[in-house]
Copies of this chain bind each other. A is one copy, B any other.
Amino acid sequence: MNRLTLRSSVPLLIVVVSFLIQAQPKAAGPQYNKSGTLIFPSDYREWSYLTSGLGMTYGLSGATDATNPNFDNVFADQASYRSFLKTGTWPDKTMLILEVRGSDSKVSINQGGHIQTKVLSVEAHVKDAARGGWSFYAFEPGASEARLIPKTRNCYSCHEQNGAVDTTFVQFYPTLSETAMQHGTYKAGR
């Protein structure tokens, strides 16, 4: 293809590339406001699902209601999830979301156990080397942004001391724990 043909192709290429780019998923990675707050990732329910727990009592989202304890749903942005499957650890710009929901029982035809109800809180755990590594953010219900949780808070030290992989609780993520063990990134005894 000569230079003239290449230049003539540009308009058609722009049309094709524009169309295909529109069909691509959104760019991954955390987005911030100028003030440094993290922008709420409104599409996180379409990210890769890691696991759910019910009434887990190790953290902020622990059970406070013995009858209807809270569910925790965990999601990772898809690019970081796929990277983890290849490497056994999280790349820079990883975002993990912890969605806490209430629970209920005996709803519709369900006669036992627990189903999920409304969102109670959304927390983000973000790996960003440009901002000092892993950080936590807690979104108020309906908030479009969240401030950094100060690094002196005990969520940081707890994750540091107990997370199986890179300060994250991969021991609770059944599709990732085996991958981490195979890659030698899983800290034994956690």
Question: What interface size band does chain A fall in?
Answer: 35 or more
- Would you call A114 and B54 a contact (CB within 8 A)? yes
Residue in B63, B108, B175 whose beta carbon sits within 8 Å of that of A112 in the complex: B63
What copy number does this chain have within its complex? 2
* In the complex, A29 has a CB within 8 A of chain B: no
Q: Is the CB of A54 within 8 A of B113?
A: yes
A130 → B minimal CB distance (Å): 25
Contact A108 B172 (CB under 8 A): yes
Enumerate A111-131 residues with CB–CB distance to B below 8 Å.
Answer: 111-119
10 nearest A-B pairs in the assembled complex, by CB-CB distance:
A55-B113, A9-B9, A57-B112, A49-B49, A52-B52, A20-B20, A5-B8, A56-B113, A58-B109, A108-B171
